[in-house]
Amino acid sequence: MVTRIEVVNGGVGQTRYMPAKLNSDQGGTAAAAVRASDASVQHVLSQSANPQQFCSALAKLFGVRATEVALMRLQKGLLSFLYPEQLKTAGSIPVSSSSAVASHTASTKKTELYNAFVKVKHASIFESVKLIQSDGDPTEQNTIQKLMSAPVLDAQRRVLGVIQVCRKGYDPANAGPDFTQDDLQQLELAAKVLSNLPFIK
């Protein structure tokens, strides 16, 4: 059975980042630590001058390869890749597409998590593109086993793009640990930071 979690932006995940006054009886110290962690994540991501810097920082946050992060910008009904570099010329994804997860994320404005991604109907053409790592070596052509996908929304909740983080491998165990609800919330936070950066607008 496919593991799938959907969280509406501005809903469950958003509350984690709202400032709150907690006394020591309510675990204020722990909550402050979480907020401090989120603040540091926001600071690091907000310093990104281009898509490559942002995606590289996001990859470090989730412990994945830089080529396991994808960033797409929405223009005229099409999602075009800003990162990885090799996918910029591989074509665009229509938001109306019924087979692309990124299109579903953009059209529903919902964050999604798939820890059994190979069982999900999706457009696999982009997986066949050979990606180059930052050190110049090509990555192994492994299958996406686990994936998180989040819409990038402006203040009026208009879709600016989609950010995705995946884990690739020969099988789910080889790809690494499952993504968690906390990971999904971190990706929502990253998407919120990204919405204010000039290269996504």
Q: Reply yes or no on whether the pLDDT at 10 is more than 80.
A: no
pLDDT band, very low/low/confident/very high, at 20 (cuts 50, 70, 90) = very low
Q: Average pLDDT of the chain?
A: 80
Average pLDDT of the residues in 93-106: 93
Give the per-residue SS3 of 143-157.
Answer: EEEEEEEEEEECCCC
Give pLDDT, residue 123.
64
Domain of residue 157, residue span = 4-17+26-200
Confidence of residue 3 (pLDDT cuts 50, 70, 90): very low
> Which pLDDT belongs to residue 29?
44
Output the domain CATH number for residue 129. Answer: 3.30.450.40
Q: How many domains does the chain have?
A: 1
- Give the DSSP letter of residue 94: E
Question: Coil, strand, or helix at residue 13?
Answer: helix
- Asked if residue 142 lies in contact with residue 182, where contact means CB atoms within 8 angstroms, the answer is no
**Residues 139-177 pLDDT 10s:** 555 789 999 999 999 999 999 999 999 999 989 999 999
pTM: 0.78
Q: Which residues pair with 150 in a beta bridge?
A: 163
